[in-house]
Amino acid sequence: MRKVIAFLAAAGMTLAAGLPALAQDNTITIWSQFADQQPNQQKALRQIFEDYQAAHPDVKLNVRFWDKAELNPAFQAAMLAGGKGAPDIVYYETGQADWIKAGWVDNIHDTIDTSKILAGYDRNAFRDYGVPVYLLINMLFYNPEVFDKLGIKVPADNMFTEEQFDQVIKTCHAGGYSGLANAAGDRPYAGTYIPQYMLLSQFGADEYHAYWTGSKSWDNPEIRKLLETYIGWIKDGLYPSTYSSMGIDAFHLYFHTLQKSCMLALGNWYTARAFKSEDAGGQSPDFHFSFLYYPEMDGAVDPKGLITAFAGFLGEVSTGTHKDIVKDVLKFMQQPKYGAMWTQVTASPSALRYTPSDVPDSLKSDPEIAKWSWYWDEIAKVYADADYVEEQLPCGEFQDALTTVFNDSIPLGTMTLDEAIANLDAHLCPAN
Amino acid sequence: MASDFAAASLRRRAPGQMRALLWSRVTVSLVFAAVLVFTIAILIPLAWTVQMSFKTTREILIDPYAMPSQLRLSNYAGLFLNPSVEIQTYFLNSVMVTGGALLISLLLSTMGGYVFGRMRFEFRGRKVFFYVLLFAVMLPPQIYYIPQYQMMAAMGLNNSQWSLILLYAAHSLPVSVYLMSTYFSQLPGELEDAAIIDGCNDWELFWQVMLPLARPAMTTIIILNALYFWNELLLAITVITDPSKRTLPAAIFNFIGELGSNFGGAAASLVVSMLPILVLYLFLSRRLIQGLTAGAVKG
Amino acid sequence: MSDLSANAPKKAMPRHRAGRASPLWIAAFLVPVFGYYLTFTVYPLAMTFFNTLFKSTPEGGQLITRFVGFGNYQRLFSDGIFLGNAVPNTLIWGLVGTVIDVVTAVLLALLIYFRLPLHNIFRVLWFTPVLLSGVIVGVVFRWVFNFDWGLLNACLRAVHLDMLAVDWLGRVDTPLMAVIAVHWWHSFGYSFVIVLAGLSAIPRELLEAAYIDGCTRRDAVFAIILPLLRPTLITVIVLSFIGKMRAFDVVWALTRGGPAHHSETVATYLQKRAFDPLLSGLDLGYPSTIAVVWFGVVVAGVLIFNYRASRAGMT
């Protein structure tokens, strides 16, 4: 027993090393998303920060990569403690509007140069508060080999009508495939793509926003008809039987490696998980999927709408002490060459404007990047005439209701149409 | 001693009861078989996880049950050679935090147990103090995380292992004091008499008489608390955000992260995380039962 | 919890020559423990209670905290998710789970006590799930319950029980069952060890004497062992119950309280109200209120149980 206690005492005493060191001058702490399993994004960001440090030898940029689910509570805890332990630059997404309202992220109007950022950012709610990292586009992927095998022909404009789409689902199901690979095992949005796009297609951007942001009641005949169609699709085999237990990685594999589904509804961040080594769960570069527009509803107002969002921002934390350096870093990040570099390295579109001449030569000839060039060609081919609609997020309670209804219940058949509408209407957002 | 199941009382039974004895043997075999199946069923998830740690993530997602085509150590290598933070660092942090917290916890809980468990410390209101100490165990722990984090930040200790040490020890106090006090209360009442007559003061009494006797209960507390400190997750990721200072559960959580769950790596980190506790348990398990047996938890 | 005075000598004893300790010494031992506890536990708890009277809202670049009196409590008592999902689920789990937990713990402990062949090995093996981190347990069992290729359904299908191979984590009624089962798997070893300890304190001579008198083992269990085990059983029941009232890691990793709040427990709901970007609004007052109210419920439950138990003469 004495030995045990002595050991413990020794362990305790080595903690002298654990006392926190004083913050060095000119060290900027950056908290970013893209934890270990998104190596390309990390590589791209590290490149930017290394370049900055090379240009400014007296500054040290200390970047930590997090999982979003950990970053948010940690940042919240730090800010609630008055900023102790908070970083100087933080990554956040559109779901963190509360941070801005609470004054935790500064207004850096002058630092953001909208001429360097893609069109539309000057109207964005986050325009003054952060540099956008990439452009999110919600797309519909499909597996051409499976389509061929089942004899499904894709129309010339890459868009099925309602009835055709239903037929596609039935054909897939009969062939032993699921319509989509989407599954809600560990994500709250997998089941929301189709309903969102049905609304957009049928009603156009304004009405779609009104419904989806919880500003309008869902209890009317048009919505009922739309949802009944959707429920019909589900019954015909839209979602996989493992919808409730497949996690995000599993359903990626379901689509690109196991190839058990016809289609996949997902954002373009698909490449973050799929364009990596197969041993780590990525796809083969030879699997050339393609894209579709979401199904065109009868009497559609906006059939070729594509929901986009400026996703992910890096902003200045209000409790930081080196704000001039922070602003400098954020300005530095807005150079076109970094937009080009980000897009090439991560295979997801940067939010920055750039031209082909901005692409560094080293990347032009990089085989790791070249093997995915077919992906960009497909997007350009299919979505050439897309109408980009910017996403708007509702208040928290309504978004939770959307998750409950569309992600957790309707695909599993555990909620009737009336219950769904009642649930949504019970959580509408208060008018702002 | 021969097993009860072997009916040591065989000798004392009348010969006519041999048939009953045979039936008893059959029952034993059936019960044993059931228990064996039960135990195997209980352990299958663990075996499966160990098997997974030798496969790549892709292999796992394609067929979770297939025996690995080759015993890859790549997951383990990935853990130990990860450039951002290697698992040895997390491991050492866990050891530091667990060790430090155990020290404080042992000290305070034995002192507390002594005060609450021995007759000679009886005073009016002692029971009130005792229940006040215990009531915190009923609260869901998340809720005092934020005020505790704010405290640690105010003390300048966030991002230091000390914050976890202090808070873990605090969290463990109610149950540890309870166990120690129960244990002390069951030691004979005359224990102190001889020592006091000889002129010992309470401090010497505590260190030289009480503590040595308390070894079984201390063992219990060590292992129960070590288990809790080693596996604690929420506070560990809230209070410490610097990866080089984090504990092992944070490493596991990292692998089962937001993007790209590395199942092979997660399984490997699970195995690595389990081993120290398992070893500690195997080493101390006899003492543990002894300690519990000696009445530490008789109620 | 046992009453301390139960351990006091019941018959008149010769006066302890040592007598009572001086107040100075009482303080010397009490103050460090209590001081530490007050600083690191009671003070944050008090802050939590205090926080329930306020609500924070982010607006106009500031986090504004307003006094709302009992407003948070009012809100809680009309909270559909809390009253409709979290509380019933947690209570069901607390009652059903505790019964299952204690019954298996007693059965297993008896088997070890009666020295089943290989009991030494079983004793060690049954404790191993307890050693694991709750997060890992949740994730591994998420795979076990997978509808398509999960371990459970694979076994059920292998024995032609296909209609039982359901979508465990997707339906309305089964996620809670899954939570209860997984948590039981994780923690039955804990209760088992405690009961075993209590059993070990029962002298074997009592049993031997009973056997000589012709008692069967079954009678011995019910007539001798269980009554003597009562104090331990009380402890185990209380600890098991409290554990389920506050358990978090396993549920969070297994279902996150989903789908659609069907396996929501008070602990997961609290976490969401404190940290989830959709449900927290950066407000600490409301989750503090949930914690305070729940704490009251748990305390009441334990006190009632203790009262009934002591009335039945079990302590």
Specify the amino acid at residue B27.
T
The pLDDT value recorded for residue C10 is 45
Phi/psi for A388 (5° steps) reads -80, 125
A-chain residue closest to C170, CA distance: A244
**Tokens read off for A145:** 């080999």
* A263 three-class SS: strand
User: Which chains are within 8 Å of A by 3+ CB pairs?
Assistant: B, C
- Closest approach of B100 to chain A, Cα-based (Å): 5
The pLDDT value recorded for residue A69 is 76
Q: Do A17-134+309-366 and A137-308+384-426 agree at the fold level?
A: yes
- Reported ipTM: the value is 0.78
Specify the pairing of strand A89-92 against strand A27-32. Answer: parallel
Reference A182, options A230, A244, A273; nearest CA is A244
CB contact under 8 A, A95 and C58: no
Domains of chain C: 72-314 (1.10.3720.10)
Tokens 């559960």, located at residue: B249
CB contact under 8 A, C7 and B197: no
Stretch B140-157: mean pLDDT: 77
The C-alpha atoms of residue B86 and residue B76 are separated, in whole angstroms, by 11
The C-alpha atoms of residue A267 and residue C63 are separated, in whole angstroms, by 33
Q: Which residue has the higher pLDDT, B118 or B29?
A: B29
DSSP A304-345: TEEEEEEEEEEEEBTT-S-HHHHHHHHHHTT-HHHHHHHHHH
Domain boundaries, chain A: 17-134+309-366, 137-308+384-426
CB nearest to B120's CB, from C16, C40, C149: C16
Sign for the pseudo-dihedral over CA of A203, A205, A206, A207:
positive
C226 touches C206 (CB < 8 A): no
Predicted confidence (pLDDT) at residue B1 exceeds the cutoff of 60: no
Tokens 């699921």, located at residue: A178
CB nearest to B257's CB, from A67, A280, A281: A67
The C-alpha atoms of residue B30 and residue B28 are separated, in whole angstroms, by 5
A349 touches A135 (CB < 8 A): yes
Split chain A (432 residues) into runs of 10 and give each run's mean pLDDT: 57 47 72 79 91 93 84 84 87 89 91 88 87 92 95 93 94 95 88 94 93 94 95 95 82 91 94 82 90 92 91 92 92 92 88 86 81 90 89 88 92 92 92 64
CB contact under 8 A, B167 and C295: no
A140 touches A285 (CB < 8 A): no
CB contact under 8 A, A84 and B238: no
- Per-residue pLDDT tens digits for C64-98: 889 998 999 999 998 888 999 999 999 999 999 99
- Per-residue pLDDT tens digits for C251-261: 988 888 878 88
The pLDDT value recorded for residue B196 is 74
Q: Which residue has the higher pLDDT, B187 or A43?
A: A43
Any idea what DSSP says for residue A110? G
CB contact under 8 A, C33 and B109: yes
Cis, peptide link before residue C259, omega less than 30° from 0: yes
The pLDDT value recorded for residue A217 is 94
Q: Which residue has the higher pLDDT, A135 or B81?
A: A135
Reference A18, options B242, B236, B225, B167; nearest CA is B242
Q: Which of residues 54-83 of B touch A (CB under 8 A)?
A: 56-58, 61-62, 82
From residue B80, give the alpha-carbon distance in Å to each of B89, B251, B265, C140. Answer: 9, 11, 11, 22
Reference C170, options A243, A402, A406, A193; nearest CA is A243
From residue B214, give the alpha-carbon distance in Å to each of A69, B117, B175, C195. Answer: 44, 12, 16, 20
Which stretches of chain A sit within 8 Å of chain C by CB? 72-73, 76, 80, 95-96, 98-104, 107, 184-186, 240-247, 396-397, 399-400, 403-405, 407-409, 412, 414-415, 426
Most confident of the ranges A144-153, B23-32, B121-130, C42-51: A144-153
Q: Which of B56, B259, B287 to mutate to test the interface with A (most CBs of A within 10 A)?
A: B259
Predicted confidence (pLDDT) at residue B17 exceeds the cutoff of 60: no
CB nearest to A80's CB, from B82, B146, B245: B146
The C-alpha atoms of residue C187 and residue C94 are separated, in whole angstroms, by 13
Range A17-134+309-366 has CATH code 3.40.640.10? no
* B100 three-class SS: helix
Stretch B109-133: mean pLDDT: 83
The pLDDT value recorded for residue A346 is 87
Ranges in chain C, pLDDT < 50: 1-16, 315
Give the residue ranges of DSSP H helices in chain C. Answer: 23-37, 43-51, 71-76, 80-81, 87-92, 98-113, 119-127, 134-144, 151-158, 174-200, 204-212, 217-220, 226-246, 249-254, 266-275, 285-311
Q: Is B194 on the interface with A (CB under 8 A)?
A: no
- Per-residue pLDDT tens digits for B257-290: 533 456 777 777 777 777 777 777 777 766 665 5
B-chain residue closest to C303, CA distance: B135
Quickly name the fold that domain A137-308+384-426 has.
Answer: D-Maltodextrin-Binding Protein; domain 2 (3.40.190)
C-chain residue closest to B271, CA distance: C132
Query: Which residues does A423 contact at the CB level (< 8 Å), separation at least 6?
Result: A401, A404, A405, A415
The C-alpha atoms of residue A352 and residue A340 are separated, in whole angstroms, by 8
B288 touches B220 (CB < 8 A): yes
- Helical pair B161-185 and B126-135, crossing angle rounded to 10 deg: 140
CB-facing half-sphere around the CA of B133: CA atoms within 13 A: 31
- In chain A, residues with a C-beta closer than 8 Å to the C-beta of B163 are none
Reference C276, options A96, A185, A407; nearest CA is A96
Q: Which of C131, C194, C206, C232 to mutate to test the interface with B (most CBs of B within 10 A)?
A: C131
